[in-house]
Amino acid sequence: MSMRSLLCLAFGFGISGHAFAAESRMVYGETGRLETYDPYTAHEATAQRLSDLVFDGLVDLGRSGDYVPALATSWEVSKNGTDVTFHLRNNITWHTAMPSGKPLPKEAGQSFQAKDVVATVKFLLMARSEIPNSERFSGIASAEELDPLTVKITLRRAVSDPLRILMFKILPANAFANIKSGSSFRESTFVQRPVGTGPYQFIKSNKQGEVLLRANKFYFGGAPKIETIVMKSYADQSVMAQSLMFNALDLITYVSPRDLAEIMADKRLLLVPYDALSYSFVAMNTSRTILSDRRVRQALALAVNRKEMLEAFFQGKGRLISGPFPPTSWAYNLDVPSVAYDLARSRQLLESAGYSDKNSDGILEDSKGVPLKLSMVVPVSGEGETLKKIVLGLQSYFEKAGIKVEMQFLDWVSWKKRVLFDHDYDLTLASWSFDDASNIMSLFHSGSAGAWGNNFVLLKNKTVDALLTEADATNDFEKKRAISHKIHALVADETPYIFLWTLTHHAAFQENLSGVRIEPYSFFKHVSGWSIQKRL
């Protein structure tokens, strides 16, 4: 069977059992299969984009960067800057649409009220250590219901921009019934059948990772023009791009650089570039005996010819990075150079750490003659063939330095448990996408080194902890930038990651999808105004 016929047969959507006119349905593609569909238990950018369709926050950002009403119609900040009082919209109800025969969740159809905000805040504070990017909520002290449509949120200290840290998604209070931790919430029914107030209602998902959403006709921001949205999951970026070109998809959220030329040549398709504030890296488990030695980590970084890889696998359409902040962030320290490929220096560091090739087989051994071997677990999602080429390239570079690395390819769900929960790995390949490119507290603070924490390299450095805490505590922009530059230099020297590159992101969509406007930190923010013209 040809690839064209396989793709056309494989992507017919039959999750709902209903037929929709072509102009009333949008099908978009993502990579990686989600386990949960709420805004707080998933690490993936895919989940955050989905949550923008289903959930709302109290406030939003307008076109000029000012704050505009969302679930709150107005707000006041106290003179001391620690209290923000929100006045909530009236007559908003939680989504009610569910598949025929399925019982409605308790929260469905109930009115949105201040108690929901209070319950969400309590959950965020209680489960902070188990929520990705949980440092976003570290400045919140409490929430209090003043009346059913008024809520006061108190901050731990005065900040210059309090609304920035209060732009989280609100969930119904009933979602947290009997929830005592982030782990128990992760196992709850709600994360599989979420109920929100957003422009689209979650209807159902299937075992293939497909999600069906239906328009919320009573959405306060205006009823969406597209009646149904389908999210489809792909294990490979190129297969997803081919699906777009064969009209099986209306939109894909990311185009791999290797597919750009082909998509650009297709006159039926449109491309939109956006800065995703992201970068890729090789993570090193610093709790492992071998990798606890900084010299070994630095040697691994020196052994990789990242420039050669960027040219070979991404046609040079990216930028090498030197540290933990996205390079377009003001926190990025331009004075820290990216690590240059230096095989000789890599071997010198390994020798100083006590490794030498005693039997002349090309692999270094320790003082007891034990070969220097590591394992690298790789998530099989997203880049497919390119990903395999990257990890095989890494394996080759490491072997030239005298390090034997065995590759283990895992499905996305198994990889997350192995790396983020069990911390049972030596090396892994991953990437981060940011909504706040200046806050990396959860990535490297020792307080985030637990199960499901973002500090899955288990870095525990008191100086890094102190600087991260100091940066978080100050409202002085110049001081924060100076501290961030110190953090950048220190983390680069500690080398818990082999910092690789950042790539320019592109979304692509069919020409009959109109009104598309994309914002990097809220991809579907303007989706209510999108529409699809009937294909001829």
In this model, does residue 129 exceed pLDDT 90? no
* pLDDT band with cut points at 50, 70 and 90 for residue 107: low
Q: What are phi and psi of 116, to 5 degrees?
A: -70, -40
Domain termination site, one of 159, 187, 215: 187
Query: pLDDT tens digit string along 47-56?
Result: 989 999 999 9
The reply to whether 122 and 27 lie within a common domain is no
**Mean pLDDT, the chain, as a whole number?**
88
Note the pLDDT of residue 452: 83
Residue matched to tokens 């046609």? 315
Closest CA to 328 of 340, 337, 319: 319
The reply to whether 106 and 172 lie within a common domain is yes
Domain presence at residue 478: yes
* pLDDT band with cut points at 50, 70 and 90 for residue 16: very low
The reply to whether 413 and 488 lie within a common domain is yes
The reply to whether 398 and 477 lie within a common domain is yes
The reply to whether 35 and 116 lie within a common domain is no
Query: pLDDT tens digit string along 317-362?
Result: 889 999 999 998 899 999 999 999 999 999 999 999 999 999 999 9
Q: Percent of the chain at pLDDT above 90?
A: 65
Note the pLDDT of residue 527: 95
Contacting residues for 72 by C-beta, under 8 A, at least 6 apart: 58, 59, 86, 87, 88, 89
Note the pLDDT of residue 274: 80
Q: Which pair of structure tokens corresponds to residue 456?
A: 């899955």
Domain presence at residue 267: yes
| CATH number of the domain residue 219 falls in | 3.40.190.10
| Domain span including residue 367 | 278-503
| CATH number of the domain residue 64 falls in | 3.90.76.10
In this model, does residue 469 exceed pLDDT 80? yes
The reply to whether 86 and 210 lie within a common domain is no
* pLDDT band with cut points at 50, 70 and 90 for residue 383: low
Greater model confidence, 2 or 99 = 99
Note the pLDDT of residue 442: 86
Buried/exposed code over 207-246 (b: 16+ C-beta within 10 A; e: otherwise): eebbbbbbbbeebbbeebbbbbbbbbbbbbbbbbbbbbbe
Tell me the three state secondary structure of residue 393: helix
Domain presence at residue 11: no
The reply to whether 424 and 484 lie within a common domain is yes
Note the pLDDT of residue 14: 34
Instruction: Pick the range with the lowest mean pLDDT from 97-101, 110-114, 370-374.
Output: 97-101
In this model, does residue 458 exceed pLDDT 80? yes
The reply to whether 45 and 129 lie within a common domain is no
Domain termination site, one of 187, 214, 242: 187
Query: pLDDT tens digit string along 109-119?
Result: 689 999 999 99
* pLDDT band with cut points at 50, 70 and 90 for residue 535: low
In this model, does residue 277 exceed pLDDT 70? yes
Note the pLDDT of residue 459: 97
Q: What's the length of the chain?
A: 536
**Dihedral of alpha carbons 408, 409, 414, 417, sign:** positive
Tell me the three state secondary structure of residue 96: coil
- Helix, strand, coil percentages in the chain from 3-state DSSP, rounded to 5: 30, 25, 45
Q: What are phi and psi of 282, to 5 degrees?
A: -100, 120
* pLDDT band with cut points at 50, 70 and 90 for residue 21: very low
The reply to whether 285 and 270 lie within a common domain is no
Domain presence at residue 153: yes
| CATH number of the domain residue 366 falls in | 3.10.105.10
Domain termination site, one of 137, 159, 187: 187
Domain presence at residue 10: no
Domain presence at residue 345: yes
Degrees, nearest 5: CA angle 91-102-230:
75
Domain presence at residue 146: yes
The reply to whether 112 and 261 lie within a common domain is no
| Domain total in the chain | 3
Query: pLDDT tens digit string along 242-262?
Result: 999 999 999 999 998 888 889
In this model, does residue 19 exceed pLDDT 50? no
Domain presence at residue 14: no
- Cβ atoms of 491 and 323 closer than 8 Å: yes
The reply to whether 174 and 301 lie within a common domain is no
Note the pLDDT of residue 11: 26
The reply to whether 243 and 160 lie within a common domain is no
Closest CA to 500 of 338, 383, 379, 377: 338
**Dihedral of alpha carbons 175, 525, 96, 29, sign:** negative
Average pLDDT over residues 462-479: 91
